[in-house]
Structure 1
Amino acid sequence: MKRIVFILALTLCLHPHAVSAQTPAPKPPPSTLKGVLLEQLHTTHDVKDWFVPGNIAVEGLTAEQARWTDGKGNHSVGQLTYHLVFWNKEMLAKFKDEKVKTFSGNNDETFNNFNAEQWSALVKEFNQGMTDWEKAVEAADDKTLAKGASLIAHIGTHNAYHIGQIIFVRKEQGSWNPEKGVK
């Protein structure tokens, strides 16, 4: 047994890449404002990092599951997704200096206009809206990014907050698969 341990240790000393070759090197953090903002948008959309991204959080639900609430006044996954789509669209239009829809100011409307029949389309709209954000940031010049950086950072934070709620609702409902990232 001692001989096997010795040979293994010697092999690792002589071939340090034998172990590290199977483990990918950590990705360096972004070094530009554009890189940081894109990383934040992607981690709330389609890149698993510190938490589950939005596309995984909403995938695999039926319309009925998306409509489910706990009966305690908390929002459904569908309502939370509708809210994210609403604000991501509104703020992207603002970032791009486009005309924004008239909004009554009642934030409840950004949750409560969800209906289960629109679930599949809403999931697509969420993903498209996030892709549109990523493309807009990618195409923006440094001056535009500097002007909009706080807005974009808030979008990322807002998305992360509600994605956490979506996962929590799914866990409460029993529709969350912990193998997707949150035990």
Structure 2
Amino acid sequence: MKRLIALVMLSLSLHAFAQDQSKEKPMTLRGVLLEQLKTTHNVEDWFVPANIAVQGLTPEQVNWKSKPDMHSIGELTYHILFWDKQSLAKFKGETPEKFSGNNDETFTNFDSKKWDATVRELDAVMTEWEKAVESADDKKLAESASTIAHIGTHNAYHIGQIVSIRKEQGSWDPAKGVK
């Protein structure tokens, strides 16, 4: 009987939680996609966004690798920027920059002398993605929803790697969101 009561209480709690969540945020396709893009860009939520993950790093820190075959923070940031730019150009009906098809180049073409410019460009491209989703018509949004959702997932994955590298190298401040 205690188990049944506990299950009923849990069920009611989860139902109330779900209803509270739906009241906070509009659950439209546009709303969900924007939320995904913003939480990987500059809105703190369940995980650290890119702007915080790459904040305050030196060129030496962004080049650091725990092992020779691992990616550096700079390489990961450049990779995110590359694919966000490619996808955005396609979404807008523009021709993306030429790409050989070798994904390794989307990491290795990073230049630490351009770190600050890379960070600024990543912020600008992520902002542009948000504006593009905000202004897209419903048909375009529906056709591109899966791609946009994957961009958010891809960004979150690599941002997690960046934070992990920062923790490993000792450059992460746990007060920024991840202990």
TM-score by length of 1: 0.84
Structure 1 Cα separation of the partners of residues 111 and 94 of structure 2? 28
Tell me which residue corresponds to 1:157.
153
* Structure 1 residues 88-114: Cα deviation after superposition (integer angstroms, max 9, x where no partner): 000001111111222111000000011
Tell me which residue corresponds to 2:69.
73
Structure 2 Cα separation of the partners of residues 133 and 37 of structure 1? 10
Instruction: Please identify the structure whose Cα radius of gyration is greater.
Output: 1
Tell me which residue corresponds to 1:46.
42
How many residue pairs are counted as aligned between the two chains? 159
1:89 pairs with 85, 101, 106, which one?
A: 85
* Structure 1 residues 113-163: Cα deviation after superposition (integer angstroms, max 9, x where no partner): 112100000000110010000000001010110011001000000000000
1:157-176 → structure 2 map (5 Å cutoff): 157-176=153-172
1:61 pairs with 50, 57, 60, which one?
A: 57
Structure 1 Cα separation of the partners of residues 111 and 103 of structure 2? 17
Tell me which residue corresponds to 1:35.
31
Conserved 8 A contact 1:95-1:148: yes
Structure 1 Cα separation of the partners of residues 90 and 105 of structure 2? 19
* Unaligned 5+ runs, structure 2: 1-19
Structure 1 Cα separation of the partners of residues 99 and 92 of structure 2? 18
TM-score by length of 2: 0.86
RMSD between aligned residues: 1.3
* Unaligned 5+ runs, structure 1: 1-24
